[in-house]
Structure 1
Amino acid sequence: MSDEGGVQRGSLLERNGVPAAGATSVDVDTAMLLLGAGVTTITHPLLYVKLLIQVGHEPLAPTLGTTMFGRKVLYLPGFFSYARHIVRVDGKRGLFRGLPPRLVCSSISTVVRSKVKQVVPREDFEHVSNRDDLKTSLRKVVKETSHEMVVQCLSRIATHPFHVISVRCMAQFVGRETKYGGVFSCVVKIFQEEGVSGFFVGLVPHIMGEVIFLWCCNLLAHIINTYAVDDNFSQAPAVRSYTKFVMGIAVSVLTYPFMLVADLMAVNNCGLAAGLPPNSPVFKSWIHCWRHLSREGQLFRGSSFFFRRVPAATAAVTLE
């Protein structure tokens, strides 16, 4: 009945010349929520395996292989081998450990982004080809990026507690713990043991990584579209439409260490085996964690799912 009433009210408004903006907004938000939930569910096994690799959990022995030049190297198991191991231990449902808080995280992010964009409207802009208008174009890029940064930061602050819960639920696989279960019980446990600050461990490097990614991606795309793509080129609009996507892939590699440190700090010293010696040192801060990973040459641990080589020092000892 309520749905029919909403449709009738929307039709009446449209007949009177008033667009049913509220109904359209709700429909779009609902569609985005469902789409986000679907993508989160489908990609969760990938992020689960990635998290376990990030915390340094390697339950499977490396295999001997050769490079294209014939040199012998040791390869760590890829995604499919790792996923099969999780299924053998926990069954197929085990691949979705930590999914509920990620779904909450995705839903909150969608709602926050929608509300912020309503309060602070985004101003669309087009590429400016005239060199006399470069300053104007750059100002628009800066303004657009600043708006995106505000949305991203507010979204991250609102969702980070659930990100911490999800990471800890997944990290329990390492020590086979059952400390973190349902979302509500996790909230109560973290608050009792660590207070409010426990929900925001790793927030600083996470936000820093996202802000650096956003600015580098947008500015590099603007510079390339302005100086490298000729307006006389017939495919210039098509090239410009993909520039930001390509820059995103490149910049994400550079900002990956921030995401790694954020995830490690979310697990560190929380009572789980994955965040305690001998699996991991107890870090005093995220900077301490960064320096440790840098010394060990592990700042990009977990950035690849395939063709993961054993670190050179470990491989040399094993091969001998």
Structure 2
Amino acid sequence: MADAASQVLLGSGLTILSQPLMYVKVLIQVGYEPLPPTIGRNIFGRQVCQLPGLFCYAQHIASIDGRRGLFTGLTPRLCSGVLGTVVHGKVLQHYQECDKVEDLGPGNAQKDVSSSFDRVIKETTREMIARSAATLITHPFHVITLRSMVQFIGRESKYCGLYDSIVTIYREEGILGFFAGLIPRLLGDIISLWLCNSLAYLVNTYALDSGVSTMNEMKSYSQAVTGFFASMLTYPFVLVSNLMAVNNCGLAGGCPPYSPIYTSWIDCWCMLQKEGNMSRGNSLFFRKVPFGKTYCCDLKMLM
């Protein structure tokens, strides 16, 4: 119980601290660029035309809504985080209790010890089920969070309170409205998890000198590195999921001219891939001007 409470408190603290970053990231993902490009330098020292980064974007939001405005959507996001942590922990706890029952059962005294790879598959499968259950339960709060942020673009107040947002979504879109963008989000989480754990297993088994026999030892070596790599590869699923969550929801940021109306998440994926925008919002500091934008990037004029 104490461990669960500490996880909830830690997660809530990190959520509060990272809220302005997520706010800026979501607005960039939907293609909202209120600030003109500026002159910067790339890694080779050459002058380039680039879009303002995280801090300039955050200052722009604060100049309109104040510093408190940077925490728009925090309440449903906190609800999502707390509920997700509880559900995730309960599912894993259920599997642990099942293992104890099997270990105490008759005929298990001489049970063979599973191989390292079998253990990875077993642990990853359980983690996948736990994460998927948490995502499924908390996705309605995720949708409300995104829409609360995106309404900054059109200065609407459609999704302000948690209760009012729930009533609005149910009245206009029904139950399915709470699960907009769920499929690409689930796929991204599942693919990222399997990539992360599989790569970590391969690295620890074939690239490191010391052998790996348990999941905990594997995580201690390379979970962070492989997790970062896997998240980079699956970022397009995150982008598509967020776009579908706000697509055609009655907000300016989810409709033309800011965003086209997508018929499905596959249609959204194909259109982003065709435009070369699959990594939009992935970087918040060194942001080059997207191809095809009509910004004036004449260095002399900007200087």
RMSD: 2.3
Runs of 5+ consecutive residues of structure 2 not aligned to the other structure: 100-111
Q: Could you say which residue in structure 1 is the equivalent of 2:93?
A: 118
Residue 284, structure 1, aligned to residue 263, structure 2? yes
Counterpart AA for 1:165? I
User: Quick one: structure 1 residues 316 and 309, their matched pair in 2 at CA, closer, same or farther if it must change by over 3 Å?
Assistant: same
- Give 1:217's aligned residue: 196
Q: What letter matches 2:79 in structure 1?
A: V
**Gap change, CA 1:70 and 1:164, over 3 Å in 2:** same
In the TM superposition, what is the alpha-carbon distance from 1:239 to its structure 2 partner? 9.0
Q: Does 1:189 align with 2:164?
A: no
Aligned partners of 2:73 and 2:145 also within 8 Å: yes
Offset, 1:111: 1.2
Matched with 2:148 is: 169
1:115 is displaced (CA, Å) by: 1.4
Q: 1:133-282 alignment to 2 at 5 Å?
A: 136-231=115-210, 241-282=220-261
Q: What's the offset of the Cα at 1:313?
A: 4.0
Determine the structure 2 residue equivalent to 1:20: none
Match of 1:73 among 48, 55, 67: 48
TM-score normalized with structure 2 length: 0.88
What is the distance in 1 between the residues matched to 2:295 and 2:85? 48
1-side partners of 2:113 and 2:40: how far apart? 52
Cα offsets for 1:145-168 (capped at 9, x unmatched): 000000000000000000000000
Counterpart CA distance in 2 for 1:82 and 1:140 is 45
Match of 1:49 among 1, 24, 28: 24
Give the Cα–Cα distance (whole angstroms) in 1 for the partners of residues 82 and 161 of structure 2: 17
Instruction: Give the greater-gyration-radius structure (CA).
Output: 1
Extract unaligned runs of 5+ from structure 1. 1-24, 124-132
Q: Distance in 2 between matches of 1:68 and 1:228?
A: 31
Give the CA deviation at 1:117: 1.8
2:67 counterpart (72, 92, 108): 92
Q: Which runs of 4+ in 1 moved over 4 A?
A: 237-240
State TM-score, norm by structure 1: 0.83
Q: Deviation of residue 309 (structure 1)? A: 0.5
Which residue does 1:60 correspond to in 2?
35
- Deviates further, 107-116 or 273-282: 107-116
Distance 2:210 2:45 in 1: 47
CA contact (8 A) 1:156 1:207 kept: yes
